């Protein structure tokens, strides 16, 4: 790529407004807040094919954003760019200084026990107590000395969340972290993420294919297509959310229509 700007520290350095939406049932009017993410005219191509093509995005500090879209539309590519894992871009990307990522696969190193996986990559020599505190928040304090191979799928994903949490992120990036879990474990994991978000108040960007998951968790749902954000819906549904709520059903139907389903 010929030019790009990638910056960190946005949330502590810039005060700006997220554009307001027209108020409709189920929609919230957004207020001015510091930004955790600002993306302007982002382009990411693979060969001659632009996967992201002129995308703009603002995410407010503490805001929970869910990103929907068909497979191959660039959702995970965008998340990797926000994480600083892909800088082969054109355009401008600025993010909060402290970021953490949890992927669909927990990516735990099998030769390190759980607590050492949690503090992996932290500067200095982090003490076990720091890992144990993060593991306690996800209900795994008793598994700190265990080996990753002995964890269930749900436990491994919670360990990955603890690894993100221990970094005290201002921006938490989640790339389909519940996709490999069974239905009941997935619901528990969703509840856990919602609790951690309320407790620590990071901005969250969640990539998901699950419309109900997006509506249950997010303040705002984005639908990506053709390399840009095609639809941006801010939610004003009461928490905890109820899939039987008529407003929930209306929004689900609208999102599915935008995704080409129904």
Residue 32: pLDDT band with limits 50, 70, 90: low
Distance CA 243, CA 157 (A): 25
Look at residue 23 and tell me whether its pLDDT is greater than 70. no
pTM, full prediction: 0.87
Mean pLDDT for the stretch of residues 197-210: 96
pLDDT per residue as tens digits for the range 83-131: 999 999 999 999 999 999 999 899 999 999 999 999 998 988 888 999 9
Closest by CA position to 117, among listed 180, 161, 153: 161
User: In the chain, pLDDT over 90 holds for what percent of residues?
Assistant: 78
Contact 249, 211 (CB under 8 A): no
Q: Is 56 helix (H, G, I), strand (E, B) or coil?
A: strand
Burial status of residue 54 (CB atoms within 10 A of its CB: 0-12, 13-18, 19 or more):
middle
Report all structural domains of the chain as residue ranges with CATH numbers, in order of start. 5-98+169-258 (3.40.50.300)
Distance CA 128, CA 146 (A): 13
pLDDT per residue as tens digits for the range 136-186: 999 999 999 999 999 999 999 999 999 999 999 999 999 999 988 999 999
Contact 120, 109 (CB under 8 A): yes
Residue 5: pLDDT band with limits 50, 70, 90: low
pLDDT at 185: 92
Backbone phi and psi for residue 25, each to the nearest 5 degrees, phi listed first: -55, 130
Contact 22, 28 (CB under 8 A): no
Burial 20-29 (b: 16+ CB within 10 A, else e): eeeeeebbbe
Look at residue 76 and tell me whether its pLDDT is greater than 70. yes
Terminal alpha carbon distance of the chain: 39
Look at residue 2 and tell me whether its pLDDT is greater than 60. no
Look at residue 38 and tell me whether its pLDDT is greater than 60. yes
CA angle, residues 73, 78, 79, in degrees to nearest 5: 120
Look at residue 188 and tell me whether its pLDDT is greater than 80. yes
* Number of Cβ within a 10 Å radius of residue 242: 12
Strand bridging mode 99-102 / 171-175: parallel
What mean pLDDT value characterizes the chain? 88
């Amino acid at each position: 790529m010929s030019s790009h700007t990638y910056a960190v520290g946005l949330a502590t350095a810039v005060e700006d407004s997220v554009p307001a939406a027209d108020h409709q049932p189920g929609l919230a009017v957004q207020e001015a807040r510091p930004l955790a993410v600002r993306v302007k005219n982002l382009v990411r191509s693979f060969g001659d094919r632009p996967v992201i093509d002129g995308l703009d995005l603002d995410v407010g500090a503490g805001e929970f954003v869910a990103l929907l879209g068909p497979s191959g539309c660039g959702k995970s590519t965008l998340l990797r760019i926000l994480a600083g894992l892909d800088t082969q871009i054109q355009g401008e990307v600025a993010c909060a200084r402290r970021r953490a990522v949890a992927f669909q696969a927990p990516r735990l190193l099998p030769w390190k026990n759980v607590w050492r996986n949690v503090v992996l990559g932290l500067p200095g020599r982090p003490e076990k107590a720091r890992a144990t505190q993060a593991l306690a928040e996800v209900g795994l304090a008793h598994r700190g000395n265990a080996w990753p191979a002995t964890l269930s799928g749900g436990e491994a994903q919670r360990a990955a969340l603890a690894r993100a949490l221990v970094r005290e992120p201002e921006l938490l990036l989640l790339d389909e972290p519940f996709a490999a879990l069974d239905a009941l474990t997935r619901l528990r994991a969703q509840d856990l993420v919602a609790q951690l978000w309320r407790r620590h108040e990071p901005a969250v960007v969640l990539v998901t294919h699950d419309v109900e998951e997006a509506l249950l968790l997010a303040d705002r749902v984005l639908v990506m297509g053709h390399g840009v954000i095609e639809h941006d819906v801010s939610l004003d549904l009461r928490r905890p959310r109820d899939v039987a709520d008529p407003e929930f059903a209306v929004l689900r139907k609208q999102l599915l229509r935008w995704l080409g389903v129904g």
